[in-house]
């Protein structure tokens, strides 16, 4: 193994912050005894500055040297500069340790990230009247955009009717008001979103949320915001020269997304946790993190667009890349979020985004695509529900639409509307799941014709407008748009009357309604009366 560089030897000879602090406002620990290296970083914070930093290390010299370099950087640093500490910056401070000793800077960078994460997470929902920014001036209050949205040249799909795309999203605000909090998952989309915003002069802060993962799932199954992707997001921010903040959202995610998912299946619904996560929970947490770092704008790397209407209203619109459009996943975003949201990838094609990442030297350029329902491991929903909700085998009847028993099953939650495989029924023609009944643990099956519906009842509506015209209706993410009209039946409920026949409409899913590419309303499907509303033409 080559000798330590001179810079590293200085830190080994006189380590900065060795022994830790007598009192710390936040502590971060990383590494594991099993791999031989553990680093603990402690910091004290006042008036938006890191006043002091100390460390304790068990492990090799590379970890000790990296911890000393980290404390040297942290002492007297602004919180922004503290959030810029990365494995790349520490390795440069040490003169380049080489691949044999790189683990030391990785462990210490993780510990620094964790200390700053703990300090901010503890202040995520501050009491009324407190100063969550620790005395920062108004011009130090940053905007946190979520990285996965893009701005720039790309193959567009034409203008959105009645909307202006590509106009100044800030309405002439000063540079001090252009700070953006970007949600960064460690993937290529959020990385390019952050890069595009930084290139355009925005003051960007990357925000990564540490989410809950099924403890029973294999490590390789955990993709979204796992430790490896947190590192990838941090090193991407290092390349871009922007601060990076991690927020511990594990319990919030478990309570608001995972438990909602479990409750939906218990009730016989087919919930869509990706819409709950992307369109609601993550943005709430991102907004709270933005307050901590002083950001007034939000951004993500989703493939969708925000269109400005003639009256100044900002609405969500479909992306130019129809194969990647994620507007359906964001359908539940509230108007107050859309008014501050930047989606820089909305006019770009996926191939172009990857090319931009490669040209920019971003570590996430070759990152794999994240999976749907990131917290469910290999094996699907049933094993997940068994592990985490105690929903073990519960024998029940499979009946046809006439009520005749035609088979048996081990739990209604193992089936969803439209399912054909795994029924174990012998019939003259293919049979499909028509509905499930949680109260009786019964699964109802029928022919494909029995799946047809022309009326969809929805509640929990988010309404931007209710145009008196035929709309495009999407009842699943990549589903074929159907034509229909919405009839409001209450302040937050309505019926979608379809011109096209819908198949396999699953209660618990989301219906999103578009007017020439603009999302005008979205709600949760509660019922889709089938046989009596289906008419063969």
Known catalytic residue: 277? yes
Report residue 73 CA to chain centroid gap.
Answer: 31
Three-class DSSP labels, 65-130: HHHHHHHHHHCCCEHHHHCCCCHHHHHHHCCCCCCCCHHHHHHHHHHHHHHHHHHHHCCCCCCCCC
For residue 518, give the 3-state DSSP assignment: strand
285 burial level (CB within 10 Å; 0-12, 13-18, 19+): buried
**DSSP tag of 177:** G
22 burial level (CB within 10 Å; 0-12, 13-18, 19+): exposed
**DSSP tag of 365:** G
Termini Cα distance of the chain: 78
Give the model's pLDDT for residue 173. 41
Q: How far apart are CA 450 and CA 435, in angstroms?
A: 10
Q: How far apart are CA 113 and CA 234, in angstroms?
A: 9
What angle in degrees, to the nearest 10, is found between the helix axes of 102-121 and 61-74?
A: 40
> How long is the chain?
537
Q: How far apart are CA 384 and CA 411, in angstroms?
A: 14
Residue labelled with tokens 């209710």: 466
Q: How far apart are CA 229 and CA 364, in angstroms?
A: 9
For residue 502, give the 3-state DSSP assignment: strand
Domains and CATH numbers, the chain: 6-121 (3.90.1010.10), 139-366 (3.40.50.620), 393-449 (2.30.30.280), 452-533 (2.40.30.10)
Q: How far apart are CA 273 and CA 372, in angstroms?
A: 9
* Paired tokens of 58: 């068990």
pLDDT in tens, the chain (537 residues): 889 999 999 999 999 999 999 999 999 999 965 568 999 999 999 999 999 999 999 989 999 999 999 999 999 999 999 999 999 999 999 999 999 999 999 999 999 999 999 999 998 864 333 343 344 433 343 444 333 333 333 333 344 444 444 434 443 444 345 899 999 999 999 999 999 999 999 999 999 999 888 877 655 444 554 667 899 999 999 999 999 999 999 999 999 999 999 999 999 999 998 899 888 899 999 999 999 999 999 999 999 999 887 777 889 999 999 999 999 999 999 888 999 999 999 999 999 999 999 999 999 888 777 666 677 766 778 888 988 898 999 999 999 999 999 999 999 999 999 999 999 998 999 999 999 999 999 999 999 999 999 999 999 999 888 778 999 999 998 888 999 999 999 989 999 999 999 999 999 999 999 999 999 999 999 988 754 444 333
């Amino acid at each position: 193994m080559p000798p330590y560089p001179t810079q590293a030897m200085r830190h080994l000879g006189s380590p900065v912050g060795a022994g830790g602090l007598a009192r710390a406002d936040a502590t971060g620990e990383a590494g594991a005894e099993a791999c031989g290296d553990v680093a603990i970083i402690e910091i004290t914070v006042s008036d938006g500055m890191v006043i002091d930093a100390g460390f304790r290390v068990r492990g090799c010299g590379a970890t000790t040297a990296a911890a000393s370099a980290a404390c040297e950087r942290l002492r007297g640093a602004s919180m922004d500069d503290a959030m810029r500490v990365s494995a790349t910056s520490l390795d440069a401070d040490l003169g380049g340790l080489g691949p044999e000793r790189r683990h030391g800077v990785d462990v210490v960078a993780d510990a620094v990230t964790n200390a700053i994460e703990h300090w901010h997470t503890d202040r995520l929902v501050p009491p009324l009247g407190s100063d969550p920014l620790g005395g920062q001036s108004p011009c130090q209050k940053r905007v946190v955009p979520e990285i996965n949205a893009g701005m720039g040249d790309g193959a567009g799909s034409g203008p959105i009717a009645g909307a202006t795309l590509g106009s100044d999203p800030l309405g002439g605000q000063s540079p001090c008001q252009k700070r953006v909090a970007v949600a960064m998952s460690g993937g290529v989309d959020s990385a390019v979103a952050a890069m595009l915003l930084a290139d355009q002069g925005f003051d960007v802060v990357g925000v990564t949320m540490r989410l809950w993962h099924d403890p029973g799932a294999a490590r390789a199954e955990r993709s979204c915001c796992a430790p490896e992707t947190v590192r990838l997001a941090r090193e991407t921010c290092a390349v871009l020269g922007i601060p990076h903040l991690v927020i511990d959202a594990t319990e919030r995610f478990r309570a608001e997304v995972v438990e909602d998912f479990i409750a939906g299946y218990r009730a016989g619904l087919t919930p869509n946790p990706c819409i709950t996560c992307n369109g609601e929970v993550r943005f709430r947490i991102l907004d709270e993190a933005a307050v901590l770092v002083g950001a007034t704008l939000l951004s993500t790397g989703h493939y969708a667009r925000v269109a400005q209407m003639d009256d100044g209203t900002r609405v969500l619109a479909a992306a130019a890349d129809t194969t990647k459009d994620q507007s359906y996943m964001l359908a539940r975003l509230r108007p107050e979020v859309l008014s501050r949201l930047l989606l820089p990838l909305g006019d770009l094609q996926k191939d172009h985004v990857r090319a931009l990442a490669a040209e920019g030297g971003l570590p996430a350029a070759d990152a794999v695509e994240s999976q749907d329902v990131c917290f469910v491991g290999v094996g699907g929903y049933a094993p997940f529900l068994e592990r985490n909700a105690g929903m073990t085998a519960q024998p029940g009847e499979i009946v046809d639409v006439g009520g005749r028993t035609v088979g048996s099953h081990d739990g209604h939650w193992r089936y969803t509307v439209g399912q054909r495989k795994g029924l174990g029924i012998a019939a003259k023609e293919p049979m499909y799941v028509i509905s499930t009944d949680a109260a009786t643990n019964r699964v109802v099956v029928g022919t494909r014709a029995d799946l047809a519906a022309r009326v969809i009842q929805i509640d929990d509506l988010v309404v931007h407008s209710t145009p008196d015209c035929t709309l495009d209706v999407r009842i699943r993410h990549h589903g074929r748009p159907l034509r229909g009209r919405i009839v409001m039946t209450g302040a937050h409920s309505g019926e979608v009357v379809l011109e096209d026949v819908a198949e396999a409409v699953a209660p618990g899913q989301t219906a999103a309604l578009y007017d020439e590419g603009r999302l005008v309303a979205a709600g949760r499907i509660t019922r889709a009366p089938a046989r009596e509303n289906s008419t063969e033409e």
